[in-house]
Amino acid sequence: MCAQMLWPYREARRIISQLRGRKDAILETGFGPSGPPHIGTYGEIIRTNFVALALKDLGYRPRIISFLDDLDGLRKVPEGFPTWLSDYLGRPVCEIPDPFECCESFSKHMHKLLVKMVDDAGARCEYRFSSEEYASGTFNDAIEAVMHNVELLKRLVVPMLSPEVGARWFPFFAKCENCGKLYTTRVTSVDIDSETVDYVCDGEFGAVRGCGHHGTTSYLNGAGKLPWRVDWPARWFALHVDYEIHGKDLIESASLGKRIVSSVFMRPPILTMTYELFLDADGRKISKSKGFAIDPTLWLKYGTRDSLHLMLYKKPKQAKRLDISRMPSYVNEAFGVAADYYRRRDEFGQPGKRHPYEILTLLAPPDSDPGRMDFATLCNLVAALGERNPDVIKRYALKLAEQVNSDDSGYDVRSADSGLVDELVRKAIMFADDIIATRSAEVELSDNELEAVRSFVSYLRSGEFTGEEIQTRVFTLAREFSISQPRMFQILYALILNQRQGPRLGYFIPILGQNKTADRIEASLAKFGLRD
């Protein structure tokens, strides 16, 4: 596998071709701290780190800036947050008290959560705050250029807005000196000589209304802010950004931003990469205001960091459903990537020759192979056993390993680091309790199907069989009772695992134990009212 083929290297090559001999490159990622960081925020930083590592490997000096737009006004109270925050709607999040009372502001708290996530991952970035950059004058040149190009900007931006918003739109928001809100003000005139704007605070912003104040204020040094569509390209200009990865939902804003950079700020447009969005289990876009629904912390509670990074690494241009119930299969897949790396590590480990596993681990794979196990099956096993004692589960985990030909699957827990085994056992127990136990795959059985299931239970109790024999028995059972094979398996998975799919039964049942499996089936029949 040639490292140049891995997408972070392809992106690095694109960036290098735009650097015109420079060795330094600035990669930006944005975070709106009006809610906790979510998988999209984390994903952008990790993917940007992948690209930065590739650049470094190729002899360049990348810096990653995570830009926090803490001047953004709070639009709504995030789910699960105290309701008193509604008093602060419309106010910049850097001026809102921390609802958790541990940081100097709402946005500093969100920043703290982000820093923890990034540090825990071993990723890197520098943090810059909109409030500080505006106040210190970083954006002054950009704002000057904007004030000289108001009509041009209106021509570019207004067609993208609704008629009502477009009619009021001006490429600058003064901060109301009376009520402190940003998005309720409207600039009525500009005085370039005195570097001021006249404004009136008469707008609406969600449920928030302006206070009616009229005023005159400087447009420099943080007395106001560029609206988001102009602020983004202004950042590229002011911070000398070369590259940014963004979600598909921002394609239009990014291409507008590139036009603004070249026509207002007189700089060549930056390079961007678009990724597909993360969707929740129901196919909806994951948004910040829904709170912690699916965030990296939740993923890491049940899964491994390698599996989270694999999910971010794999096909960034393909939409992904972040259904937490798929997490164990990502864990298994990441183990497979690691197994491949440790098998062939002599071929890798140097600039220009990287294995995907080195990218997932941000070029810090453990020196020795930590080992692996069939985590997806372990989760099912824990759920089916109804057993929560980690020592007992651990014995089953070892049994699981014995069933596996380690040459084929790469899962071999016998050589695994005992810390890893303990961690996976602990996580499998939590996953079985919190996720699998809440699933339901009830089946309706015909009399004939019920008869087939009873016959299978008697078979399991009639002696000790090998995995192959059990697997064959399911096939013959289906034939004897004229039930299709997929239907037969579906029934057994529902009764044994309370789910529609599962591991190969000839592999799974010997580990779970024949009697335990039979008990489990009978308990499910009783639960579904199918016993008699």
Q: Which residues bind Zn ion (CB under 5 A)?
A: 98, 100, 102-103, 109, 176, 178-179, 201, 211, 213
We find the least distance from the C-beta atom of residue 202 to Zn ion, in angstroms, to be 9
We find the least distance from the C-beta atom of residue 146 to Zn ion, in angstroms, to be 22
DSSP 8-state symbol, 243: E
**Is the CB of 103 or the CB of 293 nearer to Zn ion?**
103
Residues 6+ apart with CB under 8 A from 359: 6, 8, 50, 53, 313
174 sits in which H/E element: strand 173-174
**Is the CB of 84 or the CB of 100 nearer to Zn ion?**
100
Distance from C-alpha of 455 to C-alpha of 464, rounded to nearest angstrom:
16
**Is the CB of 185 or the CB of 307 nearer to Zn ion?**
185
Sequence-distant contacts of 483-492: CB under 8 A, at least 24 apart: 483/448, 483/449, 483/452, 487/449, 488/452, 490/443, 491/443, 491/445, 491/449, 491/452, 491/453, 492/453, 492/456, 492/521
Burial class (CB in 10 A: 0-12, 13-18, 19+), 368: exposed
**Would you say the C-alpha torsion 116, 84, 222, 159 has a positive or negative sign?**
positive
Extract the runs of DSSP E, i.e. beta strands, from 175-223.
Answer: 185-191, 196-201, 204-205, 208-209, 214-218
**Is the CB of 176 or the CB of 460 nearer to Zn ion?**
176
**Is the CB of 11 or the CB of 95 nearer to Zn ion?**
95
Judged by DSSP in three states, 422 sits in helix
Tokens standing for 434?
């919190």
**Is the CB of 182 or the CB of 491 nearer to Zn ion?**
182
We find the least distance from the C-beta atom of residue 187 to Zn ion, in angstroms, to be 13
We find the least distance from the C-beta atom of residue 111 to Zn ion, in angstroms, to be 9
Q: What is the 3-state secondary structure (H, E, C) of 379-409?
A: HHHHHHHCCCCHHHHHHHHHHHHHHCCHHHH
**Is the CB of 210 or the CB of 233 nearer to Zn ion?**
210
We find the least distance from the C-beta atom of residue 182 to Zn ion, in angstroms, to be 9
Distance from C-alpha of 326 to C-alpha of 357, rounded to nearest angstrom:
20
**Is the CB of 205 or the CB of 275 nearer to Zn ion?**
205
- 267, amino acid identity: R
We find the least distance from the C-beta atom of residue 504 to Zn ion, in angstroms, to be 48
Q: How many residues does the chain have?
A: 532
**Is the CB of 8 or the CB of 33 nearer to Zn ion?**
33
We find the least distance from the C-beta atom of residue 171 to Zn ion, in angstroms, to be 20
We find the least distance from the C-beta atom of residue 104 to Zn ion, in angstroms, to be 8
Judged by DSSP in three states, 315 sits in coil
We find the least distance from the C-beta atom of residue 194 to Zn ion, in angstroms, to be 22
Residues 6+ apart with CB under 8 A from 386: 520
We find the least distance from the C-beta atom of residue 122 to Zn ion, in angstroms, to be 23
**Is the CB of 111 or the CB of 520 nearer to Zn ion?**
111
We find the least distance from the C-beta atom of residue 127 to Zn ion, in angstroms, to be 15
Residues 6+ apart with CB under 8 A from 532: none
Distance from C-alpha of 241 to C-alpha of 243, rounded to nearest angstrom:
6
Identify which of 208, 217, 209 has the alpha carbon closest to the alpha carbon of residue 188: 217
We find the least distance from the C-beta atom of residue 461 to Zn ion, in angstroms, to be 58
Distances (CA, A) of 433 to 305, 326, 381, 388, 438: 21, 15, 12, 9, 8
**Is the CB of 102 or the CB of 167 nearer to Zn ion?**
102
**Is the CB of 201 or the CB of 400 nearer to Zn ion?**
201
Distance from C-alpha of 203 to C-alpha of 185, rounded to nearest angstrom:
6
